[in-house]
Amino acid sequence: MMEAKSTHKYIGTSPRKMRLVIDLIRGKSVDQAIEILHFSPKHSSATAEKVLRSAVSNLMNKDENTKHEVSDFFVKEAFVNQGPTLKRISAAPMGRAYKIRKRSNHVTIVVATKK
């Protein structure tokens, strides 16, 4: 069983929003996962699809001698880690300031063959 990994770091959405999308594809076949991500209305699904396609490409390039079918691949692992948080300040009434935390995340997808 071969596997390949793809990671995208410092994505400018919160990890919580990205996890909603990543949870949909975990354990699914690659064909089904790409279809789910492509037609998902979530903004972060486009980034997740890009990472998934990169992982599939990495797996195909790993062993160029043998012919692989995309239908034989499945999403073995998919997880989201929290990235650095940018701290910003928003003006508030009476001279106060509110903190704005702009969160980021790191997505990792591992694709493997079924055989």
Domains present along the chain, CATH in parentheses: 3-113 (3.90.470.10)
Q: What's the confidence (pLDDT) of residue 101?
A: 97
pTM of the model: 0.91
- pLDDT tens for each residue of the chain, 115 residues long: 889 999 999 999 999 999 999 999 999 999 999 999 999 999 999 999 999 999 999 999 987 787 888 888 999 999 999 999 999 999 999 999 999 999 999 999 999 998 7
The set of residues, in sequence order, having a beta carbon less than 8 Å from that of 64 and lying 6+ positions away, is none
The set of residues, in sequence order, having a beta carbon less than 8 Å from that of 105 and lying 6+ positions away, is 11, 13, 14, 15, 18, 80, 81, 82, 83
